[in-house]
Amino acid sequence: MAAQDAVLLVTRNFPPLLGGMEKLNHRLLQGLAPRWEPLLCGPEGSGSHVAAGFEVVEVPLVPLHRFLLQSLLAAIGMARRRRPSWVLAGSGLTAPLAWTAARLSGARCAVYLHGLDVIAPSWVYQKLWLPFIRRCDLAFANSLNTAALARSRGVQASRLHVVNPGVDQVAVPPAAVPARKLWGLDGRPMLVSVGRFTRRKGLAAFVREALPAIVAQVPDVVLVIIGTEATEALHGAKAGEQSRIRQAASEAGVQDHVYFAGRCDQATLESALASADCHVFPVLDLPGDVEGFGMVALEAASFGLASVAFRVGGVPDAIADGHTGRLVPPGDYAEFAAAVVEQLQRGRSPASEAACREYAQARSWGAFSARINALLESAA
């Protein structure tokens, strides 16, 4: 394949790190082939998570300044040697690196924006990073809300395109028993929350403000929390959020209705989504922080599981209100609790599961990749 048909992805967010941004960048790189030859400048350990034959340069993840400097040098070196058509930043954080590598190698530059990387509450970031995001030839936004934030920060609408994340397609739903058996929760109505613990995810407030009302109506209900502290995140709480959730549960008298499952393997996670009765996503609307999309709600839908969430940030792009769940006005915990109780009492029906799966099937990673590749081709 000719060198000019290559695309170089420069990113910090890539496996072995865990999270929605990491999963997206992994799928982004995979989806470039076979139209483009994928090249990666990523964090240490990333090479073991790509297909054989992909050219990868790994950079130590910490400290951040070292990652940025070494990534810049590595990206420039790879771009000047391979002469890609595009250098793609996996988030706003690496936009200056991708732009510089692109300009020094005659390539064009694109960036994928996730939300927080547009409004990060740092004057240094706003002054030094945002100008490079504006200079990119293309900008992809993960939701309508992120696109609106980007336009408000000066990104030209003509260069900006909404490309929602995708979801893996579930051919055969996993058995519904193993996760419940593992946790000793057979027979109990089960709510599930999945994700790293940050204040923005809103679990402490949900446990304190909404869970007691749910327990009053459904006394055997249990909230299963899958995830760990966000120790590798650049923004938001690094640790201590689990303690705040536990404290909220204790103060609200619902500690017997909260179960921390920790980090789960893929099979257990899939079993939980297949067997839960409702996915809760009580994300907060915080100054200087934003939920860019809400991939976990789309993943829940792929297993036929409906979500209840606050209508904040990019979450409305991930949930079809009234079809794959309910969107509740921000901060209205009474309505949130009522929506969850309604879902628990109605239960998972074949019709509701089919609606969720149909919604997810229309939003595959294949469709995501096709959209990205078409935009890169049209602007090349």
What pLDDT is recorded for position 319? 98
**Residue the block writes with tokens 């204790």:** 250
Per-residue pLDDT of the chain (380 residues; tens, 9 = 90+): 344 499 999 999 999 998 889 999 999 999 999 999 999 999 999 999 999 889 999 999 999 999 999 999 999 999 999 999 999 999 999 999 999 999 999 999 999 999 999 999 899 999 999 999 999 999 999 999 999 999 999 999 999 999 999 999 876 566 656 888 889 998 899 999 999 889 999 999 999 999 999 999 999 999 999 998 876 555 544 558 999 999 999 999 999 999 999 999 888 999 999 999 999 999 998 888 999 999 999 999 999 999 999 999 999 999 999 999 999 999 999 999 999 999 999 999 999 999 999 999 999 999 999 999 999 999 87
What pLDDT is recorded for position 3? 45
DSSP 8-state secondary structure symbol assigned to residue 56? E
Q: Which fold has domain 3-166+364-379?
A: Rossmann fold (3.40.50)
State how far the Cα of 172 lies from the Cα of 133, in Å rounded to an integer: 41
Q: Which two tokens stand for residue 200?
A: 């923005």
Q: Which two tokens stand for residue 320?
A: 């079809």
Q: Which two tokens stand for residue 359?
A: 């919604």
State how far the Cα of 334 lies from the Cα of 69, in Å rounded to an integer: 49
What pLDDT is recorded for position 46? 97
Q: How far is CA 233 from CA 238, 239, 244, 275, in A?
A: 7, 10, 18, 30
Instruction: Determine the number of helices (DSSP H) and then strands (DSSP E) in the chain.
Output: 16, 13
CA neighbours closer than 13 Å in the CB half-sphere of residue 187:
1
pTM of the model: 0.92
What pLDDT is recorded for position 4? 46
SS3 breakdown of the chain: % helix, strand, coil, rounded to 5? 50, 15, 35
What pLDDT is recorded for position 231? 62
In the chain the first and final C-alpha atoms are separated, in Å, by 17
Handedness of CA 156, 159, 164, 165 (dihedral sign): negative
Domain ranges for the chain: 3-166+364-379, 178-361
CATH number of 178-361: 3.40.50.2000
What pLDDT is recorded for position 211? 99
- Bridge partners, residue 86, by sequence: 7, 108
**Residue the block writes with tokens 């055997």:** 220
* Local structure of 42: helix, strand or coil: strand
DSSP per residue, 233-291: -SSS--S-HHHHHHHHHHHHT-GGGEEEEES--HHHHHHHHHH-SEEEE-----TT---
State how far the Cα of 169 lies from the Cα of 311, in Å rounded to an integer: 25
- Bridge partners, residue 310, by sequence: 328
Q: Which two tokens stand for residue 326?
A: 């309910």
